[in-house]
Structure 1
Amino acid sequence: MDAIKTTEIAGALYRAHGDKAEFEAAQCENRFRDAGDEDEAGNWRAIRERIRRMRGANQS
């Protein structure tokens, strides 16, 4: 999956789920990894990382 598509999906998930979007992406990643689809799991890992960057640093 290219970077533009990753960003589009990450943005849509973040708009739909807010701060829970990263968790949703992680669940998808785990589901595909458990099914043996490492390529798709890698796509979801990239989406999760993009969501993390969108959210910014954690506040303390």
Structure 2
Amino acid sequence: MEPSKVMDYARALFEAHGDKAEAEAAQKAATLEAQGEAAQADTWRKVQAAIKEMRAPHQG
């Protein structure tokens, strides 16, 4: 998945689930991994990382 699409998914998930979004993405990744869907699981891990980055306090 393109990086811009990952960010779109991450934003949408964060808007829909707030502080629970990162856990939702992690759960989706774990479920897909358990089902043998490694490529899709990797995409959801990227979404999870993007959410984590969005939640990080911005310094400046």
Specify the TM-score bucket, using the shorter chain as the normaliser. over 0.9
RMSD between aligned residues: 0.6
Which consecutive unaligned segments of at least 5 residues does structure 2 have? none
Residue of structure 2 equivalent to 1:3: 3
- Residue 46 of structure 1 corresponds to 46
Residues 7-59 of structure 1: per-residue CA shift (max 9 Å, x gap):
000000000000100000001000100000100000000000000000014xx
TM-score, reference length from structure 1: 0.92
Shift of residue 3, structure 1, vs aligned partner: 0.3
Tell me the TM-score normalized by structure 2.
Answer: 0.92
Task: Name 1:14's counterpart in structure 2.
Answer: 14
